[in-house]
Amino acid sequence: MIARELVAVPEYLEEVVRGLTSHPKTLPCKLFYDERGSALFEEITRLPEYYPTRTELEILQDYSQEIARAAGSPVSIVELGAGTALKTTTLLGAFARRQMRLKYFPVDISPAALGAAKKRVKDEYPGALVRPIIVDFSNGFRFLRDISGRKIVLYLGSSIGNFDWNDAVAMLRKVCAQLAPDDGLLLGTDMVKSPEILVPAYDDAQGITEQFNKNILVRLNRELDGDFDLESFRHIDAGAGGLFANPRFDRPLPRRRADSYREQLQVHRGEGRNDALRFGIQAGKNVVRPAELVRITFGAGVAPSQPGRVV
């Protein structure tokens, strides 16, 4: 008998197999953010069509003092999906002015993005304590309990919109379960937009968003020995989804330990889309209430600091 060498494969293999054998087919959004994907997303945030980063930055500039005052001090700032902390420095400045030492914990799946985040914050606030945390959110949020003292958790950029409704509620509930009664959560969500604003933001003239979306297939080809034909995928505007395709992914997947993945995975024409949640005022309330977050404030004002609330 000829022994076969066992080849290590990424931990996310099971999620890929499950997603590509479901209807409709899905892929976990965390796969966007390898080194190339993180760099492409940074390009997207600077596009003139892409309003979320620019708008959220303006909001933080206008209300950072009120947010810091509502959170109280001293407090550690933990940012989920921090990326390169492009917008966060404005908010951190408001906290830095209210406490002896700024403590910032950027959390992301991308080591490259976290390295850039640490440099950006340390350049702006040399005395700050910056402790990057590399985490896959699918493994939970127990790391929040390892951060001592009061904390405010930031989840900005409408990242919650990457999940479907039930998963968004489940994620918020998991985060809430790791927080103490006097901790807080600052949640940023996108609002419902007209197609005239939404479509260009996610189907930009330079094609950067298309490259970003297709990079997930490049990654699967590279790391799982897939054979996705990128030319078979069509990037379409946000009004209908993300990628539609007629490709095949039918090579046997690598063998790992005693497990053997021999799935014949095919994506047929019209399958595979990337929809995002966007909220009206009531919908925003509805997504956080089942997660047991209370004292909710929406709009320009920020509520007085209250235990277990989201602002």
Q: Domain holding 101: CATH number?
A: 3.40.50.150
pLDDT computed for residue 139 by the predictor:
86
Look at residue 299 and tell me if it is in a domain: no
pLDDT computed for residue 142 by the predictor:
93
What per-residue string of b and e applies to 188-214 under the rule 16 or more CB within 10 Å gives b? bbbeeeeeeebbbbbbbeeebbbbbbb
pLDDT computed for residue 9 by the predictor:
63
Instruction: Please write the tens of the pLDDT for every residue from 54-98.
Output: 988 898 999 899 999 988 889 999 999 998 998 899 899 999 999
Q: Is the pLDDT of residue 301 over 70?
A: no
Do both 121 and 186 map to the same domain? yes
- What's the rounded Cα separation, in Å, for the pair 232 and 210? 13
pLDDT computed for residue 117 by the predictor:
94
Phi, psi of 10 (to 5 degrees): -60, 150
Specify the higher pLDDT residue, 273 or 89: 89
Strand 184-187 to strand 151-155: parallel, antiparallel, or no bridges (unpaired)?
parallel
Give me Rg for the CA atoms of the chain: 21
Range of the domain at 57: 51-192+280-291
Do both 257 and 239 map to the same domain? yes
pLDDT band at 19 (very low <50, low <70, confident <90, very high): confident
Do both 58 and 171 map to the same domain? yes
Do both 26 and 59 map to the same domain? no
Do both 127 and 219 map to the same domain? no
Q: What Cα–Cα distance (Å) separates residue 26 from each residue in 15, 180, 216, 228, 290?
A: 9, 34, 12, 15, 24
Do both 143 and 239 map to the same domain? no
- What's the rounded Cα separation, in Å, for the pair 230 and 139? 30
pLDDT computed for residue 237 by the predictor:
60
Look at residue 273 and tell me if it is in a domain: no
Tokens of 91: 């908010």
Do both 210 and 146 map to the same domain? no
132-157 mean pLDDT:
92
Look at residue 304 and tell me if it is in a domain: no
pLDDT band at 275 (very low <50, low <70, confident <90, very high): very low
Do both 60 and 159 map to the same domain? yes
pLDDT computed for residue 271 by the predictor:
53
Q: Is the pLDDT of residue 147 over 60?
A: yes
Do both 89 and 216 map to the same domain? no
Look at residue 68 and tell me if it is in a domain: yes
pTM for the whole structure: 0.75
Do both 108 and 150 map to the same domain? yes
Look at residue 99 and tell me if it is in a domain: yes
Mean pLDDT is lowest, of 44-48, 152-156, 225-229, for: 225-229
Do both 158 and 74 map to the same domain? yes
Strand-pair partners of 78: 105, 153
pLDDT computed for residue 245 by the predictor:
43
Omega into 74 within 30° of 0, i.e. cis? yes
Q: Write down the mean pLDDT value for the chain.
A: 76
- By C-alpha distance, which of 60, 98, 72 is closest to 309? 72
Look at residue 42 and tell me if it is in a domain: yes
Look at residue 155 and tell me if it is in a domain: yes
Report percent pLDDT > 70 for the chain: 73
Residue by residue, what is the 3-state secondary structure of 131-159? CCEECCHHHCCHHHHHCCCCEEEEECCCH
Q: What's the number of domains the chain is made of?
A: 2
Do both 106 and 27 map to the same domain? no
pLDDT band at 283 (very low <50, low <70, confident <90, very high): very low
Look at residue 306 and tell me if it is in a domain: no
Phi, psi of 184 (to 5 degrees): -140, 165
pLDDT computed for residue 23 by the predictor:
78
- What's the rounded Cα separation, in Å, for the pair 224 and 42? 25
